Structure 1
């Protein structure tokens, strides 16, 4: 369900992408003639009416855009199907048609049918049209009817299907519409508090890309809470501040202080908290991300820099966003935007007749700059959060994959070369099943999300990687996401692309500890040693379904008696969890190991564990990685049985289990991985 909703949210970006054009046209028109809204200036009237043409037909744009965006091959026939479906439904459910079909007087037709042309119906029609297109666009009819086969068949099918949809809507639409209105009114009755609650959840939904669906309720009048026309008669009182401006602009104005000032303050705090040797590198990243947030209102590159490495900061960010929107709504400081709350949209909003005391958002923003800086810096230092520049040294290795080298050797453009490397980072063309993008993220479908190499993707410039499930991955790459996605499709037409290989980093001096090396037997890929001293437990006896069922991978478990956890094989530490209870290690030849100390130990929030190496470090077998307070953990953890599994065991022929009874960390051979 989450994957499907994420797909809908991605499709919503197609019609939403037209809003900047409307915002610019109307903004410039209001700038020219702010008093009479085009009545006194022909050029202003031309621009305002042009922008209004987009805004007033957002419902049909949603039907077309969602149908196109959710279609499997992004063909124009899908867009046409959405348009046809919308025309049929809205015509049959218009007041006149309902009166005729149901044989009731026109004045007795429920008022809901006067609002049938709205974004909710547009989205519904778009989804249904896309599903029909994806299912029937390749159907072949008998030879006599072959002209209507394939894509030509879909609009015909949808036109008949929408008759049924319209019939159903004739009876349930009043209920649905009244429910939406009740929802809108309940939020509206909360006033400024409701605006703050909306803004809080707007930020929390960013990681899964579902904030677009939430925005449609509050920005596109789906629930009847932004009824601008009823305020136009009172525009003069709104402009001079003598009247109550009502609801209009309540759900947008407070974003300006966050986008333009608050997040740049967070970026400065992250920069100052970075290690001295890393500040030059972090400073460049933070400066670019902060400027993007300030100027354009695009915040994802900055938000994803701390969203997953320090989730507590992201919750604080969501709370502060809700507070900012609440304050702006309470004070009736109003400014709207067509794209995002950056400097460009603020400049366009200043001459909008409905903008009220918009300049007060600037001092509010300066206050939030200070709040973000102080709160972020204090939280990072107090809890030792691993924000950019604190977890890795500046000369961190590139995992054997030089992002500055064109690995294709084919003279491709820079974008295509980058796209080829992103394909390699997600497991190669064999693992990639679908490519799409929105404003700042690649939205990819893969066969196995575990094959996505986070470290390589981040070396290529990705701000973050999100695994929605085993087949859905999002990679945050910034505003060039659309061009990279297009280039990835172009690259795939040229032939298969191999997965990015993780080469060994520079060797480190080996301690006098045993190495887990390649077995001389060509059937054995690698041999692992015990990562901790203790008693061996069979994996199917682990009291955790995910490990016992081998969903996480195959291997063994150990009930520890020792306090030091070592690397079970030579390789690269690709991940250490913030709570230090587990780490992931990748060997030179691609064996991916997960060492998970205890069960549900993440709930201890790091207590009882301390890390001895950092992410990205190259380790040898037997090298200490974690230190445990075993007395504390035995007293407080649900269980200290610790699985040691090969997460990509399906890529190999199997495991040969070697250990039983007692094992010694760094010495006892645990199991072999067969090629």
Structure 2
């Protein structure tokens, strides 16, 4: 596989993952609202929020949003299997979920039997996933299963077995082979993940004992490990164990940063302690409220003109949960896989935010346990100024982070030509979206498009981005002249790429792709 093919695979992965990414904003908003309006700090100011009706409403918001936020790895497994399957995609999607649960069940059963997991007392990095006590492999587990299932599906969905096994011919073979391979994957993960988790335990001790440097590592590592589902190992030990400190406040013996910070909030005389505040995500207030908002503006400003409206709507949707509730995943997943260099920059800046807030004694918690960055800034920072919150630090760091993210993201995107949201199409020819073309008219032109690209047998796959019908072809020499598409088939342009063509149909491109697949019987 050459460099262009590898790049194409990663670009396709980014596109495939846009489906779950577009689900995250509304889920994030629901979870954020639920956490914020059921937080103790806000209820103390507005006691009516603690009555049964508001409590029920916001609790339901939280649990509804967590259906998505709590199952992102499973959703990724399904979407990757579906997105990379050549045909019979429904079977691939089903097997993506089946494979993900097989991996987790095998891991959980094996590690419970060997004594590593105690279902009644799950440790950090262990979780109950859809009722199965197992290791939390996070998004990487979902991606691994999705990729494995897609490979198995494409290899075997046309298989012909001996007559005695012919009942399992074709797609009926895929669930069986998925169970087998994902069982092996689950066993491998059982050996691979525990040592990694043990190494992270040693990292925690280093973070605790090294001041500002440790705060930098705390913030950067927490972000860098997010895609691997290992970020919980960074912050949870500090929040709820003695690594986050021990203290006696108003006669109560407390352990863990969250418990100590809560006690400080409820105490009339105890001042804030930066050695506690740094472990309840004070740095997140800076990069979630301001840094990633600057990144969102950079995505909007660098989007192609015809995509700005869509990208603007997407960015507003992902910034709301990020700014107000500290739920950063929706915006992070929008560029994590398609522009990892930006994510590395983001992780470094997150680490720097923790180091700076430690040095400047900024005592505002950013954790969802305290309502998220915005509410914590208001109720714990501004209203807690007398206890030494030093909330004014944000007046300097906030604008600085917004500017740093905006200009850095914009410069890197333009210099490297990254395919961030709204930049999937590199041509200036996509300016005439067919907004008034009806579904019936599209169905009439589809057979002509098929003929113009060499017939149905010449089309390997049909897909779409924001504005282009993307066709993978067997023989590029069979494609008609460009004028046929722009003059006779209503296209605004055609772009020839390695292994196929991209026909510009504006914001109706996805409808063309759907009807193309139906005509080719690829659905």
The TM-score normalised by the length of structure 1 is 0.44
The partner residue of 1:30 within 32, 35, 41 is 35
> Paired residue for 2:72?
58
- Relative to 1, partners in 2 of residues 1:288 and 1:70: Cα closer, same or farther, differing over 3 Å? closer
1:154 CA displacement: 1.0
The answer on 1:89 being equivalent to 2:103 is yes
- Relative to 1, partners in 2 of residues 1:316 and 1:474: Cα closer, same or farther, differing over 3 Å? farther
Which deviations, in whole Å up to 9, do the C-alpha atoms of 1:549-579 show, x marking residues without a partner? xxxxxxxxxxxxxxxxxxxxxxxxxxxxxxx
The answer on 1:161 being equivalent to 2:197 is no
> Paired residue for 1:118?
137
The answer on 1:44 being equivalent to 2:58 is yes
- RMSD, aligned CA: 6.4
Q: Alignment length, in residue pairs?
A: 416
**Equivalents in 2 of 1:461, 1:249: separation in Å?**
50
- Equivalent pair of 1:262/1:365 in contact (CA under 8 Å): no
**Equivalents in 1 of 2:471, 2:206: separation in Å?**
37
Within a 5 Å distance, the mapping from 1:187-586 to structure 2 comes to 191=214, 193-194=216-217, 216-217=227-228, 220-221=229-230, 224-227=233-236, 230=240, 232-234=258-260, 236=262, 242=273, 243-246=276-279, 248=281, 250=283, 253-261=286-294, 264=297, 293=315, 296-297=318-319, 323=349, 326-327=352-353, 330-331=356-357, 350-351=374-375, 364=397, 366-367=399-400, 404=432, 412-413=438-439, 433-436=460-463, 445=472, 470-471=498-499, 484-491=509-516
- Equivalent pair of 2:99/2:149 in contact (CA under 8 Å): yes
Q: Mark the structure with the bigger radius of gyration.
A: 1
> Paired residue for 1:671?
none
1:490 CA displacement: 1.7
**Equivalents in 1 of 2:117, 2:102: separation in Å?**
22
> Paired residue for 2:160?
140
Q: Per the alignment, in what secondary structure is the counterpart of residue 138 of structure 1? A: coil
- Equivalent pair of 1:72/1:134 in contact (CA under 8 Å): yes
> Paired residue for 1:131?
151
- Equivalent pair of 2:28/2:69 in contact (CA under 8 Å): no
- Relative to 1, partners in 2 of residues 1:285 and 1:357: Cα closer, same or farther, differing over 3 Å? farther
**Equivalents in 1 of 2:285, 2:474: separation in Å?**
39
Which deviations, in whole Å up to 9, do the C-alpha atoms of 1:258-287 show, x marking residues without a partner? 45457758989x9xxxxxxxxxx98x9989
**Equivalents in 1 of 2:197, 2:345: separation in Å?**
31
Name the one with the larger helix percent: 2
1:174 CA displacement: 3.0
The partner residue of 1:71 within 76, 85, 103 is 85
Q: Per the alignment, in what secondary structure is the counterpart of residue 484 of structure 1? A: helix
- Relative to 1, partners in 2 of residues 1:442 and 1:83: Cα closer, same or farther, differing over 3 Å? same
- Relative to 1, partners in 2 of residues 1:105 and 1:51: Cα closer, same or farther, differing over 3 Å? closer
- Relative to 1, partners in 2 of residues 1:285 and 1:238: Cα closer, same or farther, differing over 3 Å? farther
| Structure 1, unaligned runs of 5 or more | 203-212, 271-280, 304-314, 338-346, 380-384, 388-397, 496-675
Which deviations, in whole Å up to 9, do the C-alpha atoms of 1:196-218 show, x marking residues without a partner? 8789xx9xxxxxxxxxx98524x
| Structure 2, unaligned runs of 5 or more | 1-5, 44-48, 127-132, 241-256, 267-271, 320-329, 336-340, 383-390, 418-426
> Paired residue for 1:510?
none
